[in-house]
Amino acid sequence: MPATLFDKIWDAHEILRDEEGRSLLWIDRHFVHEGSFHAFDTLAERGLSVARPDLTFGIADHYVPTAGRPRIADPKIAGMVERLAGNAARHGVQLFGLDDPRQGIVHVVGPEQGLTLPGLVMVCGDSHTATHGAFGAVAFGIGASEVAHVLATQTLWQTKPKRMRLVVDGRLAAGVTAKDLALHWIAALGADAGRGYAIEYAGPAVEALSMEARLTLCNLSIEGGARCGMVAPDATTLAALRDRPMGPAGADFDAAAADWAALTTDPDAVFDREVTIDARRIAPTVTWGVSPEEALPIDARVPDPAALVSEEAARQMRGALDYMGLAPGQKLTDVAIDRVFIGSCTNARIEDLRAAAAVLKGRRSRVPGIVSPGSTLVKRQAEAEGLDAVFTEAGLEWRDSGCSMCVGMNGDRVPAGERCASTTNRNFRGRQGPGARTHLMSPAMVAAAAVAGRLTDLRDL
Amino acid sequence: MEPFRRLAALACPLVEANIDTDQLIPARFMKESRASGYGRFLLHDLRFDAEGAPIAGFILNDPAAADARILVAGRNFGAGSSREAAVYALVDYGVRCVIAPSFGDIFASNAVNNGLLPAVLEEAAFEALTDWMGGAPAELVVDLEARRIAYGGRDAAFSIPDAWRAKLLNGWDDIALTRQHAAAIETFARERLRAFPWVAPRTDGPRGGAQPRSPDAGETRAGGASPQSSDL
């Protein structure tokens, strides 16, 4: 029977199925971070140990500071980082800690080290785990109870989601990126359109994306409601997998590549939902509100709640505009910003930094801002290419790697009432700090906003 | 886990769409130990101002809503991060059930793992319920066995996947359940590794990680040699 890519991987990991139809899935890779302490506490309470420490990897990213390292000024934050190190040591789990040259954001480090491979089932207590699906893995975020379950058993009970295929026809125009594509589809379909689905991204525009761009696209699956998003492995994937330190090498690689070649959706496979998008209609896109679905092309105006039929929707929009300090009808390109942030698991890989630096080279940022590379290795690579100098000469701070200003829990925050052009993934109220106003966009668009001091169409620069 | 069968309790309306996990519990509180309770962090920045004083007019601060154990919320409730702390905040506050037209997938799964019922009410039934509540707290009866909500002499069916219903009704503990399958799991793992030896992470590789080469082969700064090979 013809099967989708998702079904093939799911079925290959099903150990058994219970009476309610839940599958007990084998988990190939499990990443834990500082926030996973609740799950380790559960193990301790029950006197259990980690079932497969060889398939479990600890990474310090959510709470680590991005300046002044290795010192951590805040004792509570230091405690979180030490707690992860203690739990990793206690259970024999390999740790990519603060002092490790490979440290970085979990969703950047996994692919970089070759831990992320096609055909695997991968989980992490972080909703952006879908990122790894870019390599043709089934990867999804889980909560602390599920983290504890995976630690204790290396398995997880899951009900199989429905399958959605998002086909992107045509090619993205110059200056339009995977970030714009993601914000575009989420705005078009809604922030809960992917709820209950695993998404496969396909079509010529997706095939043309670099590996890094695919990681950005899959990363944002959860912002469209889908726990899991993926791209079938192809020549681009294979090239990115070669010579990774912890991935297969030599004859093992060739054997793996032969297995990976079967990881495609069969021509007659049926999806529960099919959506087609025309890449040529996508412009550089920015968010104006407090949900990723509240996004528009940069040449649009702030929407007007008075134009909405539903009183409930109008009230909701007025609330969003009030929080964001925007007026209906205002041109997006007239919105002045207070700072910029370039970083996060969404857009802090080397290509992202290159794209931002290309805009900033020889220019000054009108606002303060920080750049936090996706990993320490990305940081070293960027420095080898001289990108750090481009950022610092533009007036931005060149920091260490971590989740930084995306998540508002490690000391890097946008002050209340300030407006930040950000390469991150969530414009939720208070996400970047209490009262922070976030506009999501691509790295090059953030760089353009920095240069202009307001939201800007980078094609006009 | 305490089984959930039937709950007759005060429900508080919070009919906003996209009440995300960052609102349910702002990230800065997640360093705290669960032992001291997460209830005070629930919807913290909507309940309290910058000085920590309760914000008048926010419904959970209304004394009439003080005993609410059910929330009636807008679509896509719990969207966003996987933080189970969002569920801890609700549960520690005293909430045992959230009724909404839809939930974030990870949130709903976390809820069930903590004995919190995510009851999905389709749009028309949801509107009828919120119209009846008229923006004020009201008594509801949630019957999980029958999958029904009763209010004011009326009655509506809600949905929840069979597996989650069974788990809530029985208060099942997954870890204990799964450990009964230890032999099947071990066989599966051994067989998978035999068929696909490449699934095991390599432990003897070089430390480092290649980055894709710059398309314009940007100039390399003197002395700035990178520790990893760039051989893609």
Tell me: the pLDDT tens digits for B21-64?
999 999 999 999 899 899 999 999 999 999 999 999 999 999 99
Which percentage of chain B shows pLDDT scores above 90?
83
The pairing of beta strand B117-120 with beta strand B154-157: unpaired
Is the CB of B174 less than 8 angstroms away from the CB of A63? no
- The label of the residue with tokens 């996706």 reads A374
Decide: residue B154, CB within 10 A, 0-12 exposed, 13-18 middle, 19+ buried.
Answer: exposed
Predicted confidence (pLDDT) per residue in A243-276, tens digit: 999 999 999 999 999 999 999 999 999 999 999 9
CA atoms within 13 A on the CB side of A363: 17
Is the CB of A430 less than 8 angstroms away from the CB of B23? yes
What is the pLDDT at residue B204?
81
CATH top class, domain A162-233+265-281? alpha beta
Q: How far apart are CA B178 and CA A40, in angstroms?
A: 18
The DSSP secondary-structure symbol of A375 reads B
Is the CB of A29 less than 8 angstroms away from the CB of B229? no
Domain boundaries, position B53: 6-171
Query: Per CATH, the architecture of A286-456 is what?
Result: 2-Layer Sandwich (3.30)
Per-residue pLDDT of chain A (461 residues; tens, 9 = 90+): 899 999 999 999 999 999 989 999 999 999 999 999 999 999 999 999 999 999 999 999 999 999 999 999 999 999 999 999 999 999 999 999 999 999 999 999 999 999 999 999 999 999 999 999 999 999 999 999 999 999 999 999 999 999 999 999 999 999 999 999 999 999 999 999 999 999 999 999 999 999 999 999 999 999 999 999 999 999 999 999 999 999 999 999 999 999 999 999 999 999 999 999 999 999 999 999 999 999 999 999 999 999 999 988 999 999 999 999 999 999 999 999 999 999 999 999 999 999 999 999 999 999 999 999 999 999 999 999 999 999 999 999 999 999 999 999 999 999 999 999 999 999 999 999 999 999 999 999 999 999 999 999 999 98
Residue A161, SS3 per DSSP: coil
- Nearest to residue B117, comparing CAs of B156, B138, B148? B148
Q: Which two tokens stand for residue A283?
A: 């412009």
Q: How far apart are CA A419 and CA B213, in angstroms?
A: 34
CB A33 within 8 A of CB B27: no
Neighbours of A327 (CB within 10 A): 12
Predicted confidence (pLDDT) per residue in B79-128, tens digit: 999 999 999 999 999 999 999 999 999 999 999 999 999 999 999 999 99
Q: What is the CA radius of gyration of chain B?
A: 24
The residues with which A217 forms a beta bridge, in sequence order, are none
Number of domains making up chain B: 1
The pairing of beta strand A121-124 with beta strand A138-141: parallel
Q: Is the pLDDT of residue B223 over 50?
A: no
Decide if B77 touches A, using CB distance below 8 A: no
Number of A/B CB contacts below 8 angstroms equals 263
Residue B16: closest CA among chain A residues belongs to which residue? A316
Neighbours of A263 (CB within 10 A): 20
What is the pLDDT at residue B209?
64
- In Å, how far is A249's CA from the nearest CA of chain B? 8
Residue B15: closest CA among chain A residues belongs to which residue? A312
Phi, psi of A442 (to 5 degrees): -75, 165
Q: Which two tokens stand for residue A224?
A: 């469209």
Q: Which of residues 174-203 of B touch A (CB under 8 A)?
A: 174-175, 178-179, 181, 184-185, 188-189, 192, 196-203
Whether A286-456 and A162-233+265-281 are alike in CATH topology: the answer is no
- Mutation for testing the A interface, residue in B1, B18, B120 having most A CBs under 10 Å: B18
Instruction: Enter the ipTM.
Output: 0.95
Q: Which fold has domain A7-158+235-245?
A: Aconitase; domain 3 (3.30.499)
What is the pLDDT at residue B174?
92
Query: What is the 3-class SS of A36-77, one letter each residue?
Result: HHHHHHHHHHHCCCCCCHHHEEEECCCCCCCCCCCCCCCHHH
What is the pLDDT at residue A461?
87
Per-residue pLDDT, averaged over B130-145, amounts to 97
Domain boundaries, chain A: 7-158+235-245, 162-233+265-281, 286-456
Q: What share of chain A is helix, strand, coil (3-state, %, to 5)?
A: 40, 20, 45
- In Å, how far is B34's CA from the nearest CA of chain A? 8
Q: Is the pLDDT of residue B228 over 60?
A: no
CB B162 within 8 A of CB A21: yes
Question: Does residue B218 fall inside a structural domain?
Answer: no
Residue B101: closest CA among chain A residues belongs to which residue? A192
Cα A42 to chain centroid distance, Å, stands at 27
Q: Which of B84, B201, B210 sits opposite A243 (nearest CB)?
A: B210
**Of B209 and A451, the one with more pLDDT:** A451
For residue B17, what is the domain's CATH number? 3.20.19.10
Total number of residues shown for chain B: 232
What is the pLDDT at residue B231?
29
